[in-house]
Amino acid sequence: MKNTFIGTSMERREDLRFLRGKGIYVDDLAPSNLLYAVIMRSNIAHGRLKSIDASAALKIPGVHSVITAKDMPGGPPIIPMRLQPLPEFKPFEQLVIADDKVRYVGEPLAMVLAESVAIGEDALEVIALEIEDLPAVPDWRAAEKNESLLFEPAGSNRALTFEARKGDADAAFKNAPYVRREQLRTGRHFGLTLEPRGVMAEWDAASGHLTVSGAAKVPFFNRRILAKQIGLPEEAITMIENDVGGGYGARGEFYPEDFLIPFAARHVNRPVKWIEDRRENLIAMNHARESEADIEIACERDGTIIGLRGFVHTDMGAYMRTNGAVGARNIPQFMGGPYRVPHVKIDSLLWMTNKTPVGTYRGPGRYEGSFYIERLLDMVAHDLGIDRVELRRRNLITSAEQPYEIATVQPTDARDQYDSGDYEQALDRCLKEFGWNDKAKLQGKLIDGRYHGLAVCCFVEGGAAGPKESARLEINSDGTISVFMGSSAVGQGVETVFAQIAADALEVPVDRISHVHHGSTTTVSDGYGAYHSRSVVMGGSALLDAATKFQAAIKDAAAKRLGCNASEVRLGEDKVFGPGGKSLLLAELAGLTVEGAFLNKKHTYSYGTHAAHITVDAKLGQVQIVDYMVVQDVGRAINPMTLRGQIIGSLVQGLGGAMLEHLQYDEQGQFLTGTLADYLLPTAGDFPNLRCIVTEDHPSPINPLGAKGAGEGGIVAAGGVMANAVANALQSFGVQPRQLPLTPTYIWELVQAGQRQAAE
């Protein structure tokens, strides 16, 4: 009888370690002779760095050294792009430490190495710094003027324009019977993690080997960067992935500190550790989401979408680094969401400003694009007198149209297509489970001082970024099996789901899979990490390949010992059987190991529908969620319980970005939200009424598991749903939210504006 661990809800095996306080995070590491790094960061948004005098700091007892750009032979290296490494981005890439100019508040200027963090912070206070102020570029409108250039040799503050094209949008709009144009924007926020970032490095001068702990997300790629920067062969560097308190796309990219700490350890020949405090986390970890769209939608009078065209202005912050271009590229390509849009012409302009650089955050670009299209669709439905559910239904891509080509993006020639699915089926399931028909009667009604609003939005989520992932299986001395993965763990529960996949593939009890090792550069020959909802599709499929080869290797090895052909060997739970009653324990083959891989250049697309029922206090601008439902088809669920946790967790983050989270700067580029008293996050009591249903109606045809990435589906549509629900609740005031977040102040201002307009 075949195993059925895949598809079974199982508690996460890694949770016992965390709940018992036995997790090992980078800050838990404390080798002897350790020095602590404290980083001096610019408090000026834009200026020329004239001098740094650390002489007074070096006199403080316990201060070992102060490192600046001048201590780096040949000058500080540059952080390269990991994704979309276009030549146009080269002039805008970041030095690991400021040399001649500073471009955002929080940019590293110097690094103190001391016997304690407290001593290092004291030393920062006496470092003399001279910076000549330059006019700040606080937003894309200022950047567009090019009056103050962040990079003078580039001659412009625009790094690039991504162009998304499909069909002939200009011709389609020329004769369109209905067109609506809107200006919409999404606010700046990011993937704040429970555990701030941290790096520890140890240099072994005798062997010439560097060990870096605290790696996450893409350890192999980061090792390649560091090896080139620091002048070591890749095999001379080991990246260790410790336990990680959240990733969300931001953690684990290559940051300045990922060079500075290893450089310092080698420079002083002592272990060096740096742990980010929360203020550093807010100003130094990649920001995301800030964009403004000037977008038009063209439709037939029956609501059939003809096309989309317009511009999206994306605020990239001060530098292009690692994966910073992904969101800006995704917005125009995926703005159509799950809807049939035959003609697309959208330009995404990437503007450099004096803010923290941006990177990816769960659902990059799709969150923003979903907000834009979903707001437009509700406005179209109102204008044309069409039910908003029916409008969406008649525009959803059908299963017969799959695979469905979406817009191509230049200059990367990024072509893509949705792989499979029945989007209308997910819509119908959500409406039924939500009780839409009954709840819709409350639309716009004032009950007990609060206005009721409902909204529904459909979405797609991309996953399975290639081109490859690796997995390895090994027999332990006790006959159990260890799994080694190139994929990383950033909270997804991969130790559990990979154990389930391995147990099914090998047809053994799941407790025979003793350990799942992941992420570190010691596990497999190569690995690609955790991003773009890829771990299960890519890593799990690599594990299937490894399992097939592993079973063949066991049979070959056993055949030699049992004196028979491999075809005569039968595998058992902990034994191997040959002809004539011969057998041997699996433990007798300890050390046997096989690596597998999965290569893939196509993406998977899970999909679904969000529905929300909210109430709004118009006098206070306060929103409460009465009910919220997500239905998501994931192709194949490995562990439905942990998957539902992923969906609800990402939904809470989406609601945080829609309602609360906002990284703000003033006109001088000064950061205004430097504490968690200023940057508001959801707490356990904010969004209690969240539900989700996972379906598996349409497995992906592009991988043997049939799985689709599903870690971001809860976040993608949250902004659009909440904005539409607020608009529908406050329709009597003429409220039309055109930006996120939907703070109480913003909603109150919309109500006041509506009342003034009505009075006129």
pLDDT tens-place string over residues 247-265: 999 999 999 999 999 999 9
Read off φ and ψ for residue 404, nearest 5 degrees: -115, 125
Q: Which residues of 110-119 are buried (b: 16+ CB within 10 A; e: fewer)?
A: bbbbbeebeb
Give start and end residues of each alpha helix (H) in 530-611. Answer: 541-562
pLDDT digits (tens, 9 = 90+) for 141-164: 999 999 999 999 999 999 999 999
The tokens 């006959």 sit on which residue?
479
Distance CA 146, CA 458 (A): 39
* Distance from C-alpha of 53 to C-alpha of 501, rounded to nearest angstrom: 57
How many of the other CB atoms lie within 10 Å of CB of 521?
23
The amino acid at 563: G
C-beta of residue 593 within 8 angstroms of C-beta of residue 452: no
What is the DSSP track for 216-263?
-S-HHHHHHHHHHHHT--GGGEEEE----S--TTTTTS--HHHHHHHH
Instruction: Give which of 89, 58, 40 is closest to 256, Cα–Cα.
Output: 40
Q: How far apart are CA 130 and CA 54, in angstroms?
A: 12
SS3 state at 113 = strand
Q: What letter would DSSP give residue 697?
A: S
* Confidence label for 207 from pLDDT (cuts 50, 70 and 90): very high
pLDDT tens profile 702-732: 999 999 999 999 999 999 999 999 999 999 9
Q: Distance between the two ends of the chain, CA-based, in angstroms?
A: 76
Contacts of 752 (CB under 8 A, 6+ apart): none
Position 225 pLDDT exceeds 60: yes
Catalogue all structural domains in the chain, each as residue range(s) with its CATH number. Answer: 15-23+465-599 (3.30.365.10), 31-134+191-284 (3.90.1170.50), 138-189+286-415 (3.30.365.10), 419-461+604-760 (3.30.365.10)
Query: For residue 656, what are the contacts with CB-CB under 8 A and spacing of at least 6?
Result: 189, 680, 681, 682
| C-alpha to C-alpha distance for 217 and 543, rounded to whole angstroms | 18
Structure tokens at 367: 């969150």
Does the pLDDT value for residue 76 go beyond 90? yes
Which amino acid is present at 277? D
Amino acid type, 121: E
Q: Give the model's pLDDT for residue 759.
A: 86
Q: What is the pLDDT of residues 635-694, one digit of tens each?
A: 999 999 999 999 999 999 999 999 999 999 999 999 999 999 999 999 988 998 999 999
* Token output for 452: 């009721």
3-state SS string over 289-303?
CCEEEEEEEEECCCC
Residues 169 and 347: beta-carbon distance below 8 Å: no
Residue 580 or 107, more confident = 107
Ranges of H-type helices in 269-396: 278-284, 326-334, 366-384, 388-395
Strand pairing report for 108-114 and 291-299 = unpaired
**CA-to-CA separations, 243 to 25, 272, 617, 653, in angstroms, rounded:** 5, 19, 42, 21
pLDDT in tens, 504-521: 999 999 999 999 999 899
Q: Which among 629, 603, 165, 155 has a CA at the least distance from the CA of 411?
A: 165
The single-letter DSSP state of residue 58 is H
Q: Is the pLDDT of residue 1 over 60?
A: no
Residues 41-64 pLDDT 10s: 999 999 999 999 999 999 999 999
Mean of pLDDT values over 266-279: 97
HSE, CB side, 13 Å, CA atoms: give it for residue 147. Answer: 10
Average pLDDT rounded to a whole number, residues 330-338: 98
| DSSP three-state, residue 38 | strand
- Taking all residues of the chain, what is their mean pLDDT, rounded to a whole number? 96
Question: pTM of the full predicted structure?
Answer: 0.97
